[in-house]
Copies of this chain bind each other. A is one copy, B any other.
Amino acid sequence: MTTSTTADSPPTDDPRPDGLRVARSLVVVFTGHGKGKSSAAFGTALRARARQWPVAVVQFLKSDNWVTGEQLMAEPLGMEFWSLGEGFTWNSDDLTRDEAVAQEAWRHGKALVQAGTHRLVVFDEITYPLNWGWIDASDVEATFRDRPERVSLVLTGRDAPQWMVDLADTVTEMQKVSHVYDRGVRAKKGIDY
């Protein structure tokens, strides 16, 4: 294959490898410190809904008080949506309770995966409770690895643990090149949440 991958001229050959097999399901991870991880997860969920897939979303950290745009759109899009997290931890006065809530969210998400009735389950911001030791990494890993074969997963959050990278089919690291905060500008409703 003589694929041109230079940026300054259009490719004339299909750069995709030949002989690829069709997977029954995929695990996709969006990690890194840049913006766009949850957005990409919801964009992917949108595609799945476009193909009539049953989709469920478990959002670990964004607050029920601080309603996100994606949450508002989940119901009209026919996505099942659980936002069991208690919002940013720095608003919390009881981290022990937050930990229990994250564990409850995980029990719910685990049951969703194992039931196999959704073809895509999004675990938004799951890396945080994993990295903080709030939910049992070996349980999460085993649940994801041994999932029903047609259940795809999208996992987001900074600092994806190595086992998650190894398990995933596709891992993208969102790197911050520049961020609106650097210009003294606030996150904007309608864009950032």
Contact = CB atoms under 8 A, between A and B. Distances in A.
A29 B23 CA distance: 31
B193 A47 contact: yes
Contacts of A37: 40
A185 B23 contact: yes
Contacts of A189: 51
Contacts of A175: 32, 172-175
A181 interface: yes
A9 interface: yes
A168 to B, nearest CB: 7
A7 interface: yes
Q: How large is the interface on A (under 10, 10 to 19, 20 to 34, 35 or more residues)?
A: 35 or more
A65 interface: no
Contacts of A192: 47
Interface of A: 7-17, 19-23, 26, 28-32, 34-44, 46-51, 53, 68-73, 77, 88-91, 95, 98, 119-120, 128, 131-133, 152, 158-159, 165, 168-181, 183-193
30 contacts: A8-B131, A11-B89, A17-B181, A17-B184, A22-B188, A26-B180, A26-B185, A26-B191, A32-B175, A34-B174, A36-B40, A36-B174, A39-B47, A40-B43, A42-B47, A43-B70, A46-B69, A46-B70, A47-B69, A47-B191, A49-B69, A50-B70, A120-B191, A165-B177, A171-B177, A171-B178, A172-B177, A173-B175, A173-B176, A174-B174
